[in-house]
A = this chain, B = another copy of it.
Amino acid sequence: MISNKMMDYVSSNSMIRAMFEEGKKLSLIYGEENVFDFSLGNPNALPPENIKKAIVEILSDESPNLVHGYMNNSGYEDVRAQIAKHLNLKHNLKLAFNNLIMTCGAAGGLNVLLKTLLNPGDEIITFAPFFGEYKNYANNFQGNLVVVSSNPETFKPDLEELKSKITNKTKAIIINSPNNPTGVVYSKALIIELADVLNKKQEELSSSIYLISDEPYREIVYDGVKVPYILNYYINSFVAYSYSKSLSLPGERIGYIACNGEMDDFNNVMQALNVANRILGFVNAPSLFQRVIGKCLDAEVDVSMYKNNRDLLYNHLTKIGFSCVKPEGAFYLFPKSLIADDKKFAEEAKKLNILIVPGSAFGAPGHFRLSYCIPNKKVEKSLDSFSRLAKMY
């Protein structure tokens, strides 16, 4: 009685659910401390202390009907102005409050963007490996996700293949850097090259091709790596930002879309984003957390724990025979599986109490994803099990 589309989702979701249930079973049999769950992207760094302080201050200083009330569907103007100012200082931009709309995280932001841009049959391009939800988000608006491959040794996108896949149906490109699932960060040179490809294609096709940068991991980077801000490199560009990982607030659903003020059709785009936020049922981003963000623009989580985990895992895995691009950001590793069949490999790993996600879920079979946003001690304890896994092949 549910819709046909949802029936398909429910069937495939059941497999993931089964995996999850099996993980819980393993914990019951072997003890939670002996099961190494690298399957979930739930950040374990503590939210900054400022968050709690800000909430308490807001509740005591501001009117509850303001703090918990409706505002413009795009969000509080004062908060958007504060974020704009913060971004301007950081990235040398000239944004005003009306270049931003507050969203229910990046997931909400991406849906609002695709609702705004897509006619049925339009295409969105992304680069493999990619966050699997992009396909579902495009499908929500009868759009199609077109996947362009990356160099398997570096995970840098194949821009020649991109050129061949851009058509009159191409409405937008989604990039995700730092990347889920690879941890790769796109360099300034790469962004300039990508912008060049898109500019030439726009001219050739006389169309607008929007670039959407999905950035929940912008702040989770290591060794001083810089993540270029795409509004500085391409006119028709959006950033879909989330505080889920940067402030460890994934359950609160708070983020924003930042829009390049020079983009084609800017006024209609901003109005459409506002309406889309409303009619998709978000109405507005959660109000208290909008105000919290306004007070915590300089707050950050301690990423050293993630870096330690990355180093431990990367060094160990490459030593024992895994091949893996060294992640510069996010909290994921994406090694090659030791057999071609990544689903079978995940099954084998589970026998050693290691829970991983097969690369097929990200459009990159023959790999697996490790989420290392888990306690350091757990990672240390898991290394032996990885060694045993490697010895099996």
Task: Using CB atoms and an 8 Å cutoff, list the residues of chain A in contact with chain B.
Answer: 1-7, 9-10, 13-14, 17, 40, 42-44, 46-47, 51-52, 55-56, 59, 64-65, 67-71, 104-105, 107-112, 115-119, 122, 133, 136-137, 140-142, 208, 210, 248-253, 264-265, 268-269, 271-272, 274-276, 278-284, 286-289
Docked complex Cα distance between A110 and B111 (Å): 16
**Contact between chains at A288 and B1 (CB < 8 Å):** no
Closest to A12 in B: B275
Q: In the assembled complex, which residues on chain B have CB atoms less than 8 Å from the CB atom of A282?
A: 104, 107-108, 253, 281-282
Contact of A70 with B42 at beta-carbon distance under 8 Å, contacts A2-B116, A251-B288 already known? yes
Contact of A59 with B68 at beta-carbon distance under 8 Å, contacts A2-B268, A3-B118, A284-B253 already known? no
Q: In the assembled complex, which residues on chain B have CB atoms less than 8 Å from the CB atom of A17?
A: 271
Given A107-B283, A133-B279, 20 extra CB contacts under 8 A:
A1-B210, A10-B268, A43-B69, A47-B65, A52-B59, A55-B55, A55-B59, A56-B59, A68-B250, A69-B251, A104-B281, A105-B281, A108-B282, A112-B281, A251-B286, A251-B287, A252-B287, A281-B282, A288-B288, A288-B289
Copies of this chain, whole number: 2
Contact of A253 with B9 at beta-carbon distance under 8 Å, contacts A264-B1, A269-B1, A281-B110 already known? no
Q: In the assembled complex, which residues on chain B have CB atoms less than 8 Å from the CB atom of A280?
A: 111, 140, 280-281
Among B13, B55, B119, the residue within 8 A (CB) of A4 is B119
**Contact between chains at B108 and A281 (CB < 8 Å):** yes
Please give the distance in Å from A171's CB to the nearest CB on chain B. 8
**Contact between chains at A119 and B69 (CB < 8 Å):** no
**Contact between chains at B289 and A65 (CB < 8 Å):** no
Q: In the assembled complex, which residues on chain B have CB atoms less than 8 Å from the CB atom of A65?
A: 43-44, 46-47, 248
**Contact between chains at B275 and A6 (CB < 8 Å):** yes
Docked complex Cα distance between A9 and B279 (Å): 10
Instruction: Enumerate 7 A-B pairs (CB-CB under 8 Å) in ascending A order.
Output: A3-B272, A4-B119, A10-B271, A67-B251, A71-B251, A111-B281, A115-B140
Q: In the assembled complex, which residues on chain B have CB atoms less than 8 Å from the CB atom of A44?
A: 65
Closest to A250 in B: B70
Q: In the assembled complex, which residues on chain B have CB atoms less than 8 Å from the CB atom of A286?
A: 251-253, 286, 289
Q: In the assembled complex, which residues on chain B have CB atoms less than 8 Å from the CB atom of A279?
A: 9, 133, 136-137, 140
**Contact between chains at A250 and B69 (CB < 8 Å):** yes
The 10 closest A-B pairs by CB, nearest first: A251-B287, A111-B281, A107-B281, A1-B265, A136-B279, A6-B272, A108-B281, A1-B208, A286-B286, A68-B249
Q: In the assembled complex, which residues on chain B have CB atoms less than 8 Å from the CB atom of A2?
A: 116-117, 265, 268-269, 272
